[in-house]
Amino acid sequence: MSVPETEVTTLPAALDGQPIERVQRDGVEYVVLGTAHVSRSSMEAVEALLDHEHFDAVAVELCDSRAQSMRDPEAFKQMDLFKVIRQGKAGMVAASLVLSTFQKRLADQSGIQPGAEMKAAMDGAERRNLPLWTIDREVGTTLKRAWRSVGFWQRFGLLGGLLASVFDREEIAQGDIEKLKQEDLLESAFSEFASGSRPLYDSLIGERDAFMAARLRQQAARSSGTEDRRVLVVIGAGHLKGMCTLLREQQDDPATRVAELATLPPKARWPKWLAVGLVLLVFAAIAWAFHQNAALGAQALRDWVLFTGGFAALGAVAAGGHPVSIVAAFIAAPIKPFRPGIPAGGISATAEAWVRRPRVIDFDTLRDDIVHWSGWWKNRVARTLLNFFLVSVGTIIGEYSAGIHIFKSLF
């Protein structure tokens, strides 16, 4: 169904100055609205477009998990903490929670919940019985691709930036809020690093532009209807130009492009081999020490246990862990090379969650608690995730410290 020219040209006041592009591709007209993530006018623009024009579908810059979270903000309360730890997802969940604190501070300061325009688009599609297309890449995949796209030292910078946001109590500058009206939320959270790293920028922005363009083509090919189908596409203003250009120009198979961009790149092998090599060298040194002298070997073995177990236990102490989780960290860290699978941080965090089982109130207040740095120690869910992270870091520090100390004492 086509829209009369008068309907398109005579726009309501809510659409004045709003960035809108219209892209014709494969018999489909895409009306692409660039929105601001913390702007009431963007939410009103979405509603005005839905009221003013006819659409056969609505597409939003959300992945399935983010759309579900937006529809049901309380869904995270059903999180199985033990399963999260077992599957090695504790770090990713913790990173997502840190990003959510940034969002909540924005909401409290600006009076607008980030993503309100996406919620308006979803609600509008539901009221009109229109198909809803979630076209963004899964946020977990984007974060992992971003993490793996940068070098070793840049990862420390990203990690430091995330941690700093937990302890930063200053109000977000008005200029930064205005900047968010033109940028992607993920790009803004990592803006200092994204601006100086092409691989990071590509992971957070460029790849998602290509992914969303391909998803639109893929969804359009799957759907049935008239040749003049019309789709409202609601995306952040930072993606408007790039995605529309790619939507016009892409020629490859959309399913192939989507699958390619949704695949995680292989992990760099050298950090793993470096860690394995270090452990092998340390144990070779311990074996050599036993060969030379039983007392010398016993001392080297003791140093390994004390350094690895001690630093891991310190991580649990720093996380405010229960004595049981501290002991678990101390025992698990030295035998890590002989126990592939769950890291020492996972064992300690599991012990923490078992002894201090998260209560219903911990899930109820999680998002509010973690906005303040002290909440990470007060809330049992957050503290368990913190335990996982700090014990894992402590184990790595302990391994390297033990290796250096043992080699110095033997050679």
pLDDT in tens, 93-111: 777 776 666 666 666 666 6
Q: Where are the beta strands (DSSP E) in 209-349?
A: 229-236
> 192-212 pLDDT, tens per residue?
545 556 777 788 888 999 999
The DSSP line for 189-210 is HTHHHHTT-HHHHIIIIIHHHH
Residue 336 half-sphere exposure, CB side, CA atoms within 13 Å?
Answer: 29
Query: pTM for the full model?
Result: 0.70
Residue 128: other Cβ atoms inside 10 A: 12
> CA 396 → CA 241, 325, 362, distances in Å?
43, 18, 30
Instruction: Considering only CA atoms, give the Rg of the chain.
Output: 25
Residue 192: other Cβ atoms inside 10 A: 11
Q: Is the pLDDT of residue 134 over 60?
A: yes
Tokens of 219: 């969804």
Residues 307, 309, 315: CA angle, nearest 5 degrees? 100
Q: Are 387 and 377 in contact, with CB atoms under 8 Å apart? A: no
Q: Where are the beta strands (DSSP E) in 18-167?
A: 20-25, 28-35, 57-60, 132-134
Distance, CA of 339 to CA of 335 (rounded, Å): 6
- What per-residue confidence (pLDDT) applies to 237? 84
- Dihedral angle computed from the Cα positions of residues 123, 127, 131 and 136, in that order, rounded to the nearest 10 degrees: -10
**What angle do the packed helices 90-110 and 139-149 form, to 10 degrees?**
110
Q: Are 133 and 229 in contact, with CB atoms under 8 Å apart? A: no
User: Rounded mean pLDDT of 215-220?
Assistant: 94
Q: Are 160 and 277 in contact, with CB atoms under 8 Å apart? A: no
- What per-residue confidence (pLDDT) applies to 401? 92
> CA 219 → CA 114, 135, 212, 261, distances in Å?
26, 9, 10, 16
343 — pLDDT class (breaks 50, 70, 90): confident
> 235-278 pLDDT, tens per residue?
988 888 999 999 999 999 999 999 999 998 777 676 677 777 87
Q: Are 56 and 227 in contact, with CB atoms under 8 Å apart? A: no
Q: Is the pLDDT of residue 327 over 90?
A: yes
> CA 22 → CA 124, 184, 208, 233, 242, distances in Å?
20, 21, 19, 10, 14
Q: Are 44 and 244 in contact, with CB atoms under 8 Å apart? A: no
Q: Is the pLDDT of residue 301 over 60?
A: yes
Q: Residue 183's Cα: distance from chain center in Å? A: 17
Q: Which residue has the higher pLDDT, 50 or 18?
A: 50
- Indicate the SS3 state at residue 3: coil
User: Rounded mean pLDDT of 69-86?
Assistant: 71
Q: Are 114 and 107 in contact, with CB atoms under 8 Å apart? A: yes
Q: Which residue has the higher pLDDT, 201 or 190?
A: 201
Q: Which residues make Cβ contacts (< 8 Å) with residue 288, sequence separation at least 6?
A: 410
Count of H helices and E strands in the chain? Answer: 23, 5
Q: Is the pLDDT of residue 116 over 80?
A: yes
- What per-residue confidence (pLDDT) applies to 217? 95
Q: Which of 331, 317, 329 is nearest to 383 (CA)?
A: 317
Residue 65: other Cβ atoms inside 10 A: 14
Distance, CA of 67 to CA of 165 (rounded, Å): 25
Distance, CA of 246 to CA of 394 (rounded, Å): 45
Q: Which of 340, 165, 344, 137 is nearest to 258 (CA)?
A: 137
Alpha-carbon torsion (136, 123, 172, 19), positive or negative:
positive
> 364-409 pLDDT, tens per residue?
777 777 777 788 888 888 899 889 989 999 998 998 899 888 888 8
